[in-house]
Structure 1
C-alpha cells in the first residue's frame, strides 16, 4: 500500500511539474512575443510566425559567437527589411531607417548630399536608375542600367540596398570608389567620385535657336514642380515659341499629385492614370484643370532612367496621342507608394496600389515603349537646358543627343504646319481682319480642343511652293484592304489635312502592305503621308510620270491601322 501511494505521489508530482512547465513555457513564450508586438495587437493567425521570429532572436542572442558586439536594433532592421523584400516588389517597396528616411524626404524636397544617383534592386543587383542632372555621378559617366558591383573595394552582393546607399553617400568633399559593371559593354571599371551637396533643380528650360521649339527638362516630380511648369509654359508662349520637347529622361519620379498636375497642362479631358488596389478594383484619376499648353505640338523624351511618376506622365500623353514619345523603353516602376511611419522614426514605403496607363496598359516590370525608338550614343549624354540664352545650333550638334535631334525633326514639321491655313480656317488676317475664325467644323470637338493626333493639331496645308504659285497636291486612294469603308475614311482625313483627293477607289481585298506611289516630287506631302499611313522608306515607290492626273497614289493594304 505504501509503495503504491509513493508511486502515485511520484506520478502526480511529475504531472504537476510537467503541467507547470507547459504553462510556464507558454507564458514565457508569449512574454517573448510581447517584446515584438503588444499581445492586444497581435493577429491571432500570425502568432506562430512571431513565435518563430522570437525563437530566432533567442538563438542569435544565446549562441552567436560575437553576440556581445551585436547591435539589437540592427538585427531588428534587418528582419524588417527582409519582411518587405519577401513581398517581391523588388527595389520599390522598402524599409527605411530613420537616417534613410531623412535622405528620402530631402530628395523629395530637392535637397541631397552624396554623388547624386538613384538606385534600385533588379534581379538581386544594385542598378543605377538615373544619375541626377549636373551631379558628380553624371560627371563621372555613370549611366542608367549600370550595376554597382563594389563600394570602396567591398562587394555589395548580398547587402541590403539601404546598406549600399549608406556606403555610397557621405559628407560633401569626401570620396567613394565604385566598381561599375557597364550596362552596354558588360565590362567592369573603377570610378572614384567626390561627393558634393546637390541642389536638385526639378525644372529647367531653354529655347533652341533657329527653331520655334523650347526644350523643357523635368528632372524629378518634387513638390511644386507642376506649378513651376505652368509658369514656364506661360513664359514659352509669351516668347512666341510654338512647340515643346518635354524631356523626362533620367527622371526617377516623385510625387503622384505632381505627375497628375504636369500631365494636366497638356490634356483637356480624360484620365491621367488608372489605379488598381489590392482587391482588384480600379479607379480613374482624371485630368485636373490646367490646360497651359493644350494646343502646342509636343514630343516627349524617355529612356531606361524614366521611372515611376515620369512613366505616368509619358503614358498619359502617349495614350491620348497628345505627343510623340521618342527614346528607349522606360524602367518599369508601376506601383504607388505610401509611407507608413514606425514608432522609432523609421518607416515602411509600401506599394498599396498599382497604376496603369489610361488605356489599361501595365507598366510594372515591363516599362513603357516609345513611339519612335532612338538610342543615345554610348559616349553621349542628354543635352540639359539651363542657360539664359537659347541653345545654339553648335551646342545642339556637339551634344550628339540623337534622341533630342529626332524629336526636333518631328516637331519642326508640326510647328511649320501650325502657321499654314487649314480647311475651314481662313489665313491669318491682316490689320483690321477677323482674328476669330472658327476651326474646321468637321473636326470633332475633342480634336479641336486637344487632338488625339498631334499631326492633326497642326495640319499641313499640303501645297508645294516653287517658282509658280502654290498648287494643291492631288492624291488617288486605292483600297485593297477588303474593308469598303477605309478608303472613304482616309480620303476624308486627307482632305481635312489639306490634300486634294480626286478619287477614292474601293478595290478587292488581298493587298497585304500599303504603298505610296510618287509620280511628281511633293516632299512635304510625301513626308506627311508616310507618317499618316505608317510607311517605311521601302514602301515609298518613286515613278516619275508627268502624264498622270494625280501627284501621288496610295495603295491601301491590310496593314493600314486607323487607330494610329
Structure 2
C-alpha cells in the first residue's frame, strides 16, 4: 500500500521525482515527484529544542522558531499550550508523545485539503524505499481518491486483487467492516496492507453494466464483500505478443525500474518482424518512473517535449523524449481506460498531441499534479503538491483525464466472456480483420 507515482531521474542532485497518483496496495511506491534529502521544513521547526516538555517518549522540546515567511499573526504558543494541556489532563497516562508529534504533522498536511500532500511516518517511508525493489507482499492493487471516494485505480495482472475480481473504478466502501467515508488515504493504506497469507475483506460498490433483451445498456449499482488473501507480488512491466495479422501488442503494466530496458527489447523485437501496426496497452497502468515514460514516448517522438511542468500559472520546465524514434513510422494505437494514470497519461497524451497514435478506450484517470518528496528527521517523509503537469500542447488533465479518439467500453459481460471490444477496435484501425477474442499471441 503505497503511493504509485512516476519518478524521474534528476539533472543534478538532489534526486528529483514527480509523484504520481495513487496508493499501491501491497505493491510498492514509485513517486512521481521531487525528492530532496534534507531534514528541514515542517520537521525542523516542530523538532527544535529549547526547553524539555516531557520525558515520556523522548520528543524534543517546544518553542522552536517557525520557518521564515510564516505569518506573524500565527501564535505557535497555542500549539504548545494544547500539548501541555493534553499531557496534564488526558485520563490515560503516560501519553505516546511520538505518536502525538506524528499526528500533528499529519494534521498539517491534511489541513491543506489535498489528497496528494501527505506526511509519512517512518514505517510507511521505509516501505516506500523497499517498494522500489519490485517485489512485495499484499493484494496487488492501486487505490486512490477520486471525487472524495476511495476507489480501486487498477488491479495488477495476475495479482490477488485481480483474481478476486476487483476492477478499475470499484469504490471501496469499507475495509474489514470499517467505513471508508472521510477516511484519509494513509489510514486506508494501513488497514489494507498486511503479510502474505493473511486476509483482508473489502466492501465494494460497483456500477454493473449489462445489456437488456432489446440491446440497450442497463447500469445498476451493486454492493458486495470481497475477501482477498495477501500474497507476494512480482511486477513484470512489459509483455509483448504478436497477434494474427502482423500486429504487435505491447502491454505496459507499470513504468518500473526495468521498463526502459524491457521496452527497448520489445521495440527490437517489433522491428525484427514485418508488422503492420503496434498496439500499446496501458489500461489499468497507474504510472511509474517519469524517465521511463519519456523513454517510451521517445520511440515515437524522439527528443521532442513529452511533458511540461507549470507552477503558479507559468511553464517552468519541459521534459523531452529520450527514445530513438524507432517506431515513429509504424501505425500505432494506445489502449486506455479509467485506470490509466500519471505516467501512462503522459505517454498517451504526448503520442496523441503529436499525432503519432490514436487512443482507444475510455477517458483516463486524470492525475496531472506534481509532488515533491523529502526525507525528514527520524525516517519520516513529506510529499507535497508543488505544480501541475501539462501535455506537449499544454492540455491540463488533472481530475479531467484524456479523452480517447474512439470511446469504446468494455463491460463486465465482455470481460467475463473473454471479449475485448477496445482491442477489437484497435485491430480494426490497424487493418487487422480478426477479433480480439480469436487473437492468439505468437510469443
TM class by smaller structure:
0.7 to 0.9
Deviation readout 1:437-460 (Å, 9 max, x if unpaired): xxxxxxxxxxxxxxxxxxxxxxxx
Q: Which has the higher contact order (CA 8 A, sep 6+)?
A: 2
Q: Is the 8 A contact 2:202 2:226 kept in 1?
A: yes
Identify, as 1 or 2, the structure richer in strand.
2
Gap runs ≥5 in structure 1:
1-27, 383-397, 415-564
What is the aligned partner in structure 1 of residue 436 from structure 2?
none
Q: Is the 8 A contact 2:50 2:64 kept in 1?
A: no
Q: Which of the two has higher C-alpha Rg?
A: 1
- Which secondary structure does the structure 1 equivalent of 2:340 belong to? coil
- Which secondary structure does the structure 1 equivalent of 2:431 belong to? helix
Counterpart check, 1:193 vs 2:219: no
What is the aligned partner in structure 2 of residue 366 from structure 1?
400
Instruction: Give the counterpart of 2:299 among 256, 259, 265.
Output: 265
Q: Is the 8 A contact 2:141 2:155 kept in 1?
A: yes
Counterpart check, 1:98 vs 2:117: no
Which residues in structure 2 correspond to 1:547-562 (within 5 Å)? none
| Aligned CA-pair RMSD | 2.6
- Which secondary structure does the structure 1 equivalent of 2:301 belong to? coil
- Compared CA separation, residues 71 and 196, structure 1 to 2 (3 A): same
What is the aligned partner in structure 1 of residue 71 from structure 2?
45
Quote how far apart the aligned CAs of 1:250 are. Answer: 0.7
Instruction: Give the counterpart of 1:402 among 421, 432, 438.
Output: 421
- Paired with 1:351 and 1:171, the residues of 2 have a C-alpha distance of 31
| Number of corresponding residues | 369
Quote how far apart the aligned CAs of 1:41 are. Answer: 5.2
Deviation readout 1:9-29 (Å, 9 max, x if unpaired): xxxxxxxxxxxxxxxxxxx99
What is the aligned partner in structure 2 of residue 73 from structure 1?
98
Quote how far apart the aligned CAs of 1:177 are. Answer: 1.2
Q: Is the 8 A contact 1:377 1:400 kept in 2?
A: no
What is the aligned partner in structure 2 of residue 256 from structure 1?
290
Counterpart check, 1:303 vs 2:353: no
What is the aligned partner in structure 2 of residue 417 from structure 1?
none
- Compared CA separation, residues 34 and 153, structure 1 to 2 (3 A): closer
Quote how far apart the aligned CAs of 1:183 are. Answer: 4.3
Counterpart check, 1:345 vs 2:379: yes
- Paired with 1:29 and 1:371, the residues of 2 have a C-alpha distance of 61
Instruction: Give the counterpart of 1:85 among 78, 100, 110.
Output: 110
Quote how far apart the aligned CAs of 1:305 are. Answer: 0.7
Identify, as 1 or 2, the structure richer in helix.
1
Instruction: Give the counterpart of 1:180 among 204, 211, 216.
Output: 204
- Paired with 1:259 and 1:212, the residues of 2 have a C-alpha distance of 25
- Paired with 2:226 and 2:75, the residues of 1 have a C-alpha distance of 44
- Paired with 1:125 and 1:72, the residues of 2 have a C-alpha distance of 32
Gap runs ≥5 in structure 2:
1-48, 54-58, 209-219, 434-443
Q: Is the 8 A contact 2:137 2:194 kept in 1?
A: yes
- Paired with 2:249 and 2:387, the residues of 1 have a C-alpha distance of 33
Q: Is the 8 A contact 2:126 2:379 kept in 1?
A: no
Q: Is the 8 A contact 1:244 1:298 kept in 2?
A: yes
Q: Is the 8 A contact 2:288 2:343 kept in 1?
A: yes
What is the aligned partner in structure 2 of residue 170 from structure 1?
194
**Structure 1 length normalisation: TM-score?**
0.61
What is the aligned partner in structure 2 of residue 132 from structure 1?
156
Quote how far apart the aligned CAs of 1:285 are. Answer: 1.9
- Which secondary structure does the structure 2 equivalent of 1:58 belong to? helix
What is the aligned partner in structure 2 of residue 231 from structure 1?
265
Deviation readout 1:221-260 (Å, 9 max, x if unpaired): 1123122211111012213323111011111111111111
- Compared CA separation, residues 279 and 323, structure 1 to 2 (3 A): closer
